[in-house]
Amino acid sequence: MVLFAGSVLANCSDYYIDDIERGGGYNYEFGFPELRLSTAGYYNLDGTPIIDVSGDIVYAGLIYAENARGDLQADVSIDINITDQKDGDFVARETITDSLVSDDSGVIFSQNVHRFNEKFEVRPGSFNVEVVLTDEKSGKQTTQNNEVTIPDYADRIAAISEIQIFGKNNALTNSEFVPVTTYDVPGQLDSLKFVVQITNSTNNDITVNSRLKKFRADTSIAWPMSIQNYPRSNIRYQGIEYDEFDILQSGTRTLQQQGNIFIEYAYKGLDEGNYRLEVEITDGNDVEAISGREFGIKPPFYPAVKTARKMAETLYYIMEEDEYEALMSIEDTDSLKSAIDRFWLKNINNSALAKEAISMYYNRVEEANKQFSNFKEGWKTDPGRVYILFGPPWSVDDVLNSRMIWYYTNNLDDPERGFLFRVSDLKSKYFPFDNYILDRNILYHNLEYRQIQRWRTGNILSVDL
């Protein structure tokens, strides 16, 4: 087990790793069940190849009805289909039905998750894993797909499995490690454990090297819509730089036996940012295999917004610069909560309307996190800013994944209500994120100002744009 240590090497360059796992995204779509998926292939203790399928179902993404006992109940079915990548034949199929029952009416808003885990015995090979979640009350479905590879021990090779990541909240009594199913790791999971299996069917000793890297990335809040565009040389435009990183931890161990060996790496107290754990095996001077698991540490409870500090920070889009700086200078949590309440009540002057506007605002922040999260929080991105202020676009024109236009009008020629976003870099294995940059325009100044005033006065509840 490797404990977190300080940075030992900064601003290094290194070769690119082709085999990198990043976890899934949120794949959020309003009105549909929310499914997050994690899969791994390995050999169990008796040498049987196993595909491990873990998933999270978000409570708030389901439809509930009162059951005979007066509790709220949602019913789901989970279809797991595993097929061979070579011939497309089914290797395993299973359908799981479950009922999620709660006596708390707040479950319909809860971002907590119901977890499932299934294991399937297979043969060595490469597989597609499809999981379909159906909300039985609405009939709506969400599908996630992953790929899994299990090396053939008979091939006399040295190989690395996918790197699994687990997190634990040490603030909770009797907390246990749970699978991390997404790229984003909420900050309350302050202990992380990575599990990797090394398969060695050669006759040689092999060396296992590990490196934990932290990459330089943009963490800034999106600029106003009417000022100049981001300079192309600026980190705001580039997003994340994979050739600039710190190595926070490295280690080496030698394996002198054949077999399937599990290795664990543990880290505590990682700051917010973008990371990669790399595991490499060498036979003499030759690299036999290398694998990586990338992840991003986000604020606690992400993608939800629960802490007073985060609730204050996300008000950036509707506050004047001086009042925002004054708000963020408050260190005491209770005082900060009171200041947030004063801001809304002072402007709206009606507690019922203020409560409704607050709920609407933070729901949009959370939805922006789910839809636009990348190397930084989704609400901080350009699409996040527009989404929070104006809501979902009326229509979207997506052009070859290189640009998109959001329309908030039926007149597609209206220059003030069509927002053009361009990607800073095409999404690929070398740049795995969607980083859409707004094409800023002075024409947006009055439009954005009026929308901010609607939020500050509560008129957003009756006139949304």
pLDDT digits (tens, 9 = 90+) for 65-97: 999 999 999 999 999 999 999 999 999 999 999
Mean pLDDT of the region 350-374: 97
Q: Does pLDDT of 13 surpass 50?
A: no
Mean pLDDT of 4-19: 47
Both tokens of 347, joined, read 């402007």
Residue 55: what pLDDT?
Answer: 95
Asked if the model's pLDDT at residue 372 lies above 50, the reply is yes
- What is the model's pLDDT at position 16? 59
Instruction: Name the band, by pLDDT with cuts 50, 70 and 90, for residue 416.
Output: confident
- 168: Cβ–Cβ under 8 A, 6 or more apart, which residues? 175, 176, 177, 178, 189, 190, 191, 192, 193
Long-range contacts of 385-389 (CB under 8 A, 24+ apart): 385/221, 385/222, 385/225, 385/317, 385/438, 386/225, 386/419, 386/438, 388/314, 388/317, 388/361, 388/364, 389/317, 389/318, 389/448, 389/451, 389/452, 389/455
Q: Give CA 65 to chain center in angstroms.
A: 29
pLDDT at residue 9 tops 70? no
Least confident of 157-161, 183-187, 389-393: 157-161
- Report the percentage of the chain scoring pLDDT > 70: 97
- Full-model pTM: 0.93
Q: What pLDDT score does 14 carry?
A: 47
| CA distance to 11, 39, 239, 289, per residue, from 213 (Å) | 10, 23, 17, 18
Distance, in Å, from the CA atom of 114 to the CA atom of 97, rounded to the nearest integer, reads 13
How far CA 389 is from CA of 116, 203, 393, 404, in Å, comes to 36, 62, 11, 18
Mean pLDDT across the chain: 93
Question: 248-265: per-residue pLDDT in tens?
Answer: 999 999 999 889 999 999
Instruction: Report d(CA 199, CA 220) in Å as an integer.
Output: 42
Query: What's the pLDDT score for residue 178?
Result: 94
Who wins on pLDDT, 116 or 463? 116
